[in-house]
Structure 1
Amino acid sequence: MTPRGAVTLLVGGWPVRVTGGPFDALPPGARGLCLEPRAMRAPEAEWRLDVPDFGVPEPEALRAVLTEMLAAMRARPQDAFHVGCRAGLGRTGMALACLAQMAGATEGDPVAWLRARYVAEAIETPEQEALVRGFGSGGASPLR
């Protein structure tokens, strides 16, 4: 099993590569955010946010875990990072798009931004799209 794709974010002035895909495709040595409660490799996650398949988390909970992840990226930008759920599309895409917004990377529509750089099928449901599009107005400040 391999990651589906990756995005590169500028965090603290440094490029940080974040792979995405199934959490069970966590690359060796990567620091991971697991969104799938039934992932076999979930115990290896540094961060966890259990989100039902095709679901959305509470925005505050997502913002809290992504804030921790961004702090780790600022402290160690050379580390490998991974975000994953079961298939690496809906929940993973949603989290990656929100992470990118918090890092100040997206311009225009964050859903389109992510789909152009990660996987065209990412962010699968209207609820996930709505969360991503409303996330940037929730007070996230760019960290770069």
Structure 2
Amino acid sequence: MTPLGAIRLAFGDAEVTITGGPFDSMPEGARGLCLEPRSARVAEAEWRLDIVDFGVPDPAALRAVLEAMVAAMRARPGDAFHVGCRAGLGRTGTALACLAAMAGIEDPIAWLRAHYDPRAVETQEQAALVRAFAAGGTCLSD
């Protein structure tokens, strides 16, 4: 199984590559955020946020886990990072779009759909969460 796609984001001087897709497709050695509690590889997750399929996470919990992930990216930008759920589109797309917002991307959903997968961020609730996250989010690209 291979990741669905990859994006590159800059957080200050740290430019990182983040793969996305099913969590079970996480590349060996990658530092991963698992969003799927039933993943066969959930025990390998460095970060975990259980979200029901097609659902949205608690915004504060999402912000906390993504801030921890960004801190790790800044500290070790050469590491491999992965975000995954079951298919890599809805929950994964939501988390990746929020990371894009944290990196200063103005329209993170459109950007993610252009650079990762046009099907990313599947539901209106997921899109609303990303928009709210971006509107209230701190730009961490400085």
* TM-score, normalised by the number of residues in structure 2: 0.97
Structure 2 unpaired stretches of 5+: none
Moved over 3 A (4+): none
Equivalent position of 1:123 in the other structure: 121
Equivalent position of 2:91 in the other structure: 91
Deviation, 1:139, is 3.6
Write the distance in 2 (CA, Å) between the matches of 1:72 and 1:66.
Answer: 10
State the AA in 1 paired with 2:121.
Answer: I
State the AA in 1 paired with 2:89.
Answer: L
Equivalent position of 2:8 in the other structure: 8
Paired residue secondary structure (2:136):
coil
Deviation, 1:111, is 1.0
* TM-score, normalised by the number of residues in structure 1: 0.95
CA contact (8 A) 2:102 2:137 kept: no
Equivalent position of 1:137 in the other structure: 135
Write the distance in 1 (CA, Å) between the matches of 2:69 and 2:61.
Answer: 13
Write the distance in 2 (CA, Å) between the matches of 1:140 and 1:37.
Answer: 28
Structure 1 position 33 matched with structure 2 position 33: yes
Identity rate, percent: 69
Deviation, 1:95, is 0.1
State the AA in 2 paired with 1:22.
Answer: P
Equivalent position of 1:114 in the other structure: 112
Equivalent position of 1:50 in the other structure: 50
**More divergent stretch after superposition (127-136 vs 48-57):** 127-136
CA contact (8 A) 1:21 1:83 kept: yes
Deviation, 1:140, is 1.9
CA contact (8 A) 2:12 2:140 kept: no
Deviation, 1:13, is 1.0
> For residues 51-66 of structure 1, what are the structure 2 equivalents within 5 Å?
51-66=51-66
Write the distance in 2 (CA, Å) between the matches of 1:93 and 1:134.
Answer: 15
